[in-house]
Chain A
Amino acid sequence: MASPAKRAQRVDAEVDADYNTDVSKLDTSVLWRITAMAFRHRARMAVAIVATLCAGGFQLLVPQYLGQAVDQARGLLAGATSGSVDSAAAEAALLTTALLLLAAAIARGVFTMMQNYQGEAVGQLIGYHLRLDYYRKLQSLSMSWHDRVHTGDLMTRGILDIEGVRLWVDTGVLRSILLTVLIGGGAVVLFHNDSDLALVALSFVPIVAVRASIARLKLRDTWIALQDQMSILTKVMEENLGGIRVVRAFAAQAHEMIRYDRISDTALAIASRRVRLFVLSTTQMTFVYFLAMGLTLWVGGAKVIDGTITLGQLTEALAFMLILQMPVRQIGWMINSIARASTCGGRLFNVLDLIPSIADAPDAKPLAVTEGVVRFEGVSFRYPSHAKDERTLSDISFEARPGHMIGIVGPPGAGKTTIAQLIGRYYDVSAGRITIDGQDIREVTLRSLRDAVSIVQQEPFLFTASIDHNVAYGDPWAGRPNIERSAQMAQLHNYVKALPQAYQTLVGERGVSLSGGQRQRLSIARALLPEAKVLVFDDSTAAVDAATERRIREALKGFVADRAVIVIAHRLSSLMHADEILFVEGGRIVERGSHDALMTVPDGRYRQLYDLQARGGEAKTDREGTA
């Protein structure tokens, strides 16, 4: 992976769709960046760190007091047998130790609480800001980038990767501080008592740490493999259920089960490997820990017998081991968290650092719409992902203005939709220029351009919301009369009125399912509402039947009179009334003129298409009797 300085600030149009694959290596710059984000919340981080230090300190006091208590009891025992001890004073001493222990335990608890809470709060704050930044960035990145990336991948980044980064503060930063305090402080105390015993008691720490980190990394690999396999399984199940009629029609249940079992068995094998790895590492760690305890007892016992240390000191060493058991196991977690934060952060920053290729120029001014004249002047275009010589559009020139409607027709893949996309500046032209009322669209603000241009899409996206929300998507402050007027023009109003909940009916993923034609009509209503000066219909009536389309056209007559209209369609009846029809093929305009003029071209491409459609019964609907 490149260093952050080199990686940062790449333009979205120039990155590969799978540019994120190599973030598996540990990248310390990513970790620093996250840590720096954490320290932006200075007060909280300060509290968290102080609390961590205190929690560690008090946790260390507990075994000391335990040892002290044992020694006191032992001393009392010895004193009682010899009859030289004031038993009241002895009990008072015990009570003092007990109270100190209790106080240490409470203090430890309170500080741990503060540490955990503040750690999580900082993590959540980082998550909150990252989430907003990410959302904003996705909104601003250009369509050429969105076309290439997988939506599932973007969701993973927005959910799991933010989570991975967020956890870094708590499981990474604070926990490593706590662990350092515990092991370091414990070691000081133990070495102060007896260095041999300390060495023995701490012997398990490095072994467990190394073992845990190796295991974690291996586990992570199997985890990724398992996730991959499970997502394949999900895909297979989803398709099977979605296409259940195909499965039944071909009596393919056996075939489908074989397919399922093959993937499921592989997944199970990986899952079992994961279990083996996991179990082996955790049980081995416990074993090593207990062996160290045995050694401590052995060495310490011998020393007690020698009289080098007291029994209380031995108890203290043992109690200390007990306290360290959990944190040492967590070393594995920490290493996991480091790897995870580095990977997740890398993937996230890859997106956050992108610069949108389509953005306002530094001196961009709002578009000043006067008449609404759209001009293509020698426009050529090549998709950034395509080869150098593979031009989608070559030398396209035309002018659409109020009263001069443009129709664009041609075989699939001719570049018709691309023309629509260029008008809204979803891509930038490779050569030539596009102007609206004389202003190059690259020199005006995107916001003002897109306000001035309404594109009715081929495949409209419905939001899971009510119909009025969907119609008013481009202008959420629109009044009810405006919404209904748009729906009326799009021939949607009668249908909506007949629904039990009318305009409040939920549509989209979880709402009522609309037919293709109804979706397109909703999309038309949505595009009409903002009353843009330039209207582009991008094959937006393909699924609407011819008669309804005719009614839409009639309803729109007054509305479009003072607007520039461009209609792209493959059904000739949708555009044969245009003032100028462009027949586009292979990215070039091969014929242009009015319907009547084009019909006179012998063997013309337009004429051929017309004949084709007349035979199929498509073209005649608009000109009954003439076809």
Chain B
Amino acid sequence: MSTETTSPAPHPSEQQERPPLAVVGSQIDQDEELFGRAFDPWVVKRFLTYLAPYKTRIALGVAAVLTFTVTQLTIPLIVRAAIDHALVEGATDIDLLHWFIGVFAGVVTLNYAANHLMETTVSKTAQNLLFDLRRAMYAHLQVVSLSFMDKTEVGRLMSRLQGDVYALQEFLESSIFAIGDIVLLFGIVAVMLSLNPALGGLTLSVVPLLLLVRIIWLPLARKAFMAAREASSSVNGALAENVHGIRAIQELGREDVNFKLFESKARTNLLTHLTASKFTNVMIPIVDTLTGSAMAIVIVLGGSMVLDQSLDIGVMVAFLFYVQRFFDPIRSLTLQYSIMQRAMAAGQRIFEVTDVDVEVRDAPDAEDPAEIDGAIEFRGVTFGYEPGKPVLQDISFKVAPGETVALVGPTGSGKTSTTALVHRFYDVWQGEVIVGGRDVRAVTQHSLGRHIAMVLQEPFLFSATIEENIRYATAGASHEQVVAAATAVGAHDFITRLPKGYATELDQRGSNLSLGQRQLLSFARALVADARILVLDEATASVDSYTELEIQRALARLLEGRTALVIAHRLATIRGADRIIVLQDGRIVEEGSHDALIAANGLYARLYRMNYASFDDIPPEELERALSDGGQRT
């Protein structure tokens, strides 16, 4: 790049030839925006099961809705009756008027009570339903098999737990009013027709017209609305990128190029929203025209009927009132349609989650032993994630209590799967995994969790205080135990140097600590859990040498007096193990101490001699050579 560039385009000459290789923001998820049926009986049925606990409340709500509607309809009738009977010219009656006013006050009060009851019960039930659904999904995710969680992105699950639940909330909140509206609509039709069938029929004749307009309008409008939504999320995606990638953007001087791209997205957003707005607003004069027409019909026809004396003037007044009330519900109901579609799609996705099979379950007679001896044994274990593709084949080995065994082997050799089976994250296809003398399927998963402590490769921490993170699930651990564990792994010093010590709140995933510090905390967490068996997946990420030294010290402390199965990446760790098991393509190819394996001059010896800090680092082409050349190269 030259020194005098100040224009947004670094190579103006090339700009004409082709557009820059640049985009801002990311593509939006298509499948989350699918619009399906507005009414899905299966989804509705599933909802109803969640409503069962609130039966009495719902019954109360229905009663309130009916009362509310009846009173709502009665109010204009009372006005009409008062006009007809108490205010007729020449025959006015002040006492009768007072009587009507009294009735009016009574009905209005009843209306208030019913309205209050209706909205309270419906809204509260809706809230409860949403919280119940979210909890059901979340609780289910706590027990579904890890194989499901492996396949599913957290983001996708979160959009179920949040987005879909919100879509339902929108639906339920608007349906509160929709229910009232629908009942009211039918009520008005009934009252109009009963007051005067002929006039009622004629007045209602504008309704089919309105529906027709709506039917033509809806698909066009929906397209416009969807375009606007898409443009919005595209603009917001680009903004998010600008926020998250700001360092790279400033560093690589992409400000101007990005701004131009963003500008065109923002413009699309503007234009699609204006189009959507046109669609929304064009309905206003149409509905108003139809409302006006209905009123005109009442005036002209009703007026002449009054003239014929075939209609009370009070009825005509009531009609005019009803017509005004009539069009509001219709207007809001058509908007309800797309909300219903979204809700059905959301419901479907929610129930997809709650219906995921739980593959690993406690046996009915599962034991919960208080103490175990700490031995691990694999007997002829075959296992895989997809049918027909075993990742472990006929694996057998034993780890004696107190022994440290290192699992080594190239990426994909089955190390992680082996450790996962010890904790029964998955069930084996064939063979047995025996922990503390019992098949893992014969004890509760909870007891496995108590007796096996795991340290994962990524030191995952929660946003809570350091103390809470170290204690984690060991609820009974005292502050002293927490401090002791932190001291043992050498984390105490840096913790006390923090402004709030053990009470320091960690940011999201502990991002305010260094990687090495996070690792030490995850060791301390395992130490507090104080299990007989330790399963450890050593971190591969490179840390600086000072931290590395501390981690090795902490590791030694952690392994003390425990049975340990370690996926080892660092040569120091591997050499420190009592025994090494070498895995390749899901089979055990070698087993023995470091010295014995070096003397045997097999795969381990060849990998070791390549001098990589970790076997996972070996580039594929060199690995290929090591696996194939059967040891000629020494």
Contacts and interface: CB of A to CB of B under 8 A. Distances in A.
A237 B82 CA distance: 60
B302 A297 contact: no
Contacts of A74: 89, 313
A77 interface: yes
Contact of B146 (A99, A244, A284): A244
Contact of B3 (A109, A293, A366, A463): A366
Nearest to A78: B89
Contact of B247 (A143, A235, A267, A472): A143
Contacts of B307: 73, 76-77, 80, 87, 90-91
Residue with the highest number of chain B CB atoms closer than 10 Å, among A234, A240, A249, A305: A249
B446 A460 contact: no
B246 interface: yes
Task: Rank and list the top 3 A-B pairs by shortest CB-CB distance, nearest first.
Answer: A251-B449, A105-B292, A109-B288
B270 A448 contact: no
A448 B4 contact: yes
B624 interface: no
Contacts of B162: 234
Most buried by A among B94, B111, B154, B307: B307
A246 B456 contact: yes
A473 interface: yes
**Interface on chain B toward A: helix, strand, loop, or mixed SS?**
helix
A476 B108 contact: no
Given A237-B158, A451-B253, A571-B542, A461 B245 contact: yes
Interface stretch (B33-41, B232-240, B337-345): B232-240
A341 B112 CA distance: 33
Interface string B498-523: 00000000001100001010000000
A473 B254 contact: yes
Interface in B269-293: 269-270, 273-274, 277-278, 280-282, 284-289, 291-293
Given A112-B284, A319-B320, A102 B292 contact: yes
Interface residues of B, number: 170
B262 A132 contact: yes
B351 interface: no
Contacts of B321: 318-319, 322
A136 to B, nearest CB: 6
A279 to B, nearest CB: 4
Given A237-B158, A279-B119, A305 B463 contact: no
A200 interface: no
A255 interface: yes
Kindly name the residue among A131, A464, A476, A547 whose own CB sees the greatest number of chain B CB atoms within 10 A. A476
Contacts of A80: 307, 309
A253 B171 CA distance: 31
A91 B112 contact: no
Contacts of A508: 26
B619 interface: yes
Given A245-B456, A251-B449, A287-B112, A465 B289 contact: no
A76 B308 CA distance: 10
7 contacts: A102-B289, A106-B288, A116-B277, A249-B535, A412-B544, A547-B612, A616-B571
B257 interface: yes
B250 A450 contact: yes
Nearest to A569: B544
B572 A239 contact: no
Contact of B545 (A77, A545, A612, A624): A612
A475 interface: yes
Contacts of B244: 151, 461
Interface string B609-631: 00111100111001000000000
B139 A257 contact: yes
B277 A253 contact: no
Given A94-B304, A368-B3, A116 B281 contact: yes
Which among A97, A109, A268, A322 has the highest number of chain B CB atoms within 10 Å?
A109
A297 B292 contact: no
B39 to A, nearest CB: 26
B43 interface: no
Given A125-B270, A546-B617, A609-B545, A155 B243 contact: yes
A305 B97 contact: yes
Contacts of B158: 234, 237-238, 241
A128 B274 contact: no
A70 interface: yes
A247 interface: yes
Nearest to B2: A451
A138 B299 contact: no
Contact of A251 (B115, B245, B473): B473
A463 B14 CA distance: 24
A283 B97 contact: no
Nearest to B542: A542
Contacts of B423: 248-249
A473 B248 contact: yes
B142 interface: yes
Tell me the interface secondary structure of chain A in the complex: helix
B225 to A, nearest CB: 14
A478 interface: yes
Interface string A392-415: 000000000000000000011000
Interface in A298-354: 298, 301-302, 304-305, 311, 314-315, 318-319, 322-323
Nearest to A247: B142
A113 interface: yes
A451 B250 CA distance: 10
B92 A461 contact: no
Interface stretch (B123-131, B192-200, B481-489, B578-586): B123-131
B434 interface: no
B86 interface: yes
Contacts of B472: 246, 250, 252, 255
Quick one: which of A271, A280, A293, A367 has the most chain B CB within 10 A? Answer: A271
Contacts of B545: 570-571, 609, 612-613, 616, 618
A256 B10 CA distance: 53
B299 A97 contact: yes
B453 A249 contact: yes
Contacts of B3: 366-369, 448, 451-452
Given A80-B307, A251-B445, A477 B9 contact: yes
Given A155-B240, A260-B135, A531 B1 contact: yes
Given A280-B116, A461-B244, A530-B1, A477 B611 contact: no
Given A239-B463, A249-B453, A290-B75, A543 B541 contact: yes
A346 to B, nearest CB: 20
B21 A468 contact: yes
Contacts of B249: 139
B601 interface: no
B299 to A, nearest CB: 4
A301 B296 contact: no
A23 to B, nearest CB: 20
A116 B283 CA distance: 11
A510 B26 contact: yes
Given A112-B288, A252-B449, A478-B21, A464 B262 contact: no
A592 B277 CA distance: 68
A127 B26 CA distance: 21
A477 B617 contact: no
Contacts of A127: 270
B609 to A, nearest CB: 11
Contacts of A159: 236, 239
A297 to B, nearest CB: 6
Contact of B94 (A240, A264, A305, A447): A305
A431 interface: no
A154 B423 CA distance: 42
Interface in A91-106: 91, 94-95, 97-99, 101-106
Q: Which of B285, B291, B454 has the most CB of A within 10 A?
A: B285
A400 B101 CA distance: 95
Nearest to B460: A243
Contacts of A24: none
